[in-house]
Amino acid sequence: MSQEQNNQYKPISNAAASIRHFHEGLASGKNWYLSLLEAIGMWTDEFENIRGLCYQYVIEGEAFDWLLLAERLCDTADRQIPEKEKNDLFFRNIPPLHLTQDEFKILIGPQKYTQYLNYFYGITVEQALIQAVREEIRKERLANGWKHLRDEDNEAYTRIYGEAETSMLKLFRKLKHYHLQSSSNLTEMKEFTYWCFKYRVRTSEKARVASDTNKGLDWLRRNNSSLLLY
């Protein structure tokens, strides 16, 4: 769907009400993280345009980038949130409070929780899978005496999806009616990764899908980054 179509069907924004709820929670002395999750649970906008930049919180209507929205909300409360706790959440994936899966799900809502899982497995883990295969290719080539390492991305995509990255990106843009020769921005790359994930699930055998997903999860564990919080 084009940005113009998104604008046409976009529901009335409740961003101001969600931000106000977040600030009221902070002012009342409630833990900032609980107030943040409550505000996220209220939020309905799938994207925003702020100062010429598009913030896409929900990819393909299915995958919720909750940390992007969390950063957006925290930016409205400058100096009201402990800097270390905020940095731990956004850079180390460590929340300031221990919440159970059910508590987190209740606070952000069941629909957003499902979309959160879609984002984690469809984008975070998929990116990790690609990185893991890149590393495998690099090790193989070094072991075989290659001095000039290049085109690892296309080889990684070919091993995972059966097509080179350039071919996959071209097909993705054609199906999405995007300009074929444009440079990619962060939002498009997230959309592309999620599309690749769905392509892999649709075209691969179940055992291969599970094996590749576990490879991505293993890479995340080894690198101590972006593990599932809840």
Whole-number pLDDT of residue 230: 74
Query: What amino acid is encoded at 208 in this protein?
Result: R
Read off the pLDDT of each residue in 215-219 and give the average, rounded to a whole number: 95
| Helices 101-108/32-42 angle, 10° precision | 50
Average pLDDT over residues 86-106: 93
More confident residue, 84 or 79: 84
pLDDT in tens, 144-157: 887 666 788 899 99
Q: How far apart are CA 127 and CA 104, in angstroms?
A: 24
The string of pLDDT tens digits covering residues 41-71 is 999 999 999 888 889 999 999 999 999 999 9
Q: What is the pLDDT of residue 225?
A: 61
Strands (E), the chain: 47-50, 53-56, 58-59, 63-64
In whole numbers, what is the pLDDT of the chain averaged over residues? 91
What does DSSP say about strands 47-50 and 53-56: parallel, antiparallel, or unpaired? antiparallel
Which has the minimum average pLDDT: 10-14, 175-179, 204-208? 10-14
Token output for 49:
């345009």
Q: Which of 38-47, 142-151, 179-188, 208-217 has the lowest mean pLDDT?
A: 142-151
How does DSSP classify residue 181? T
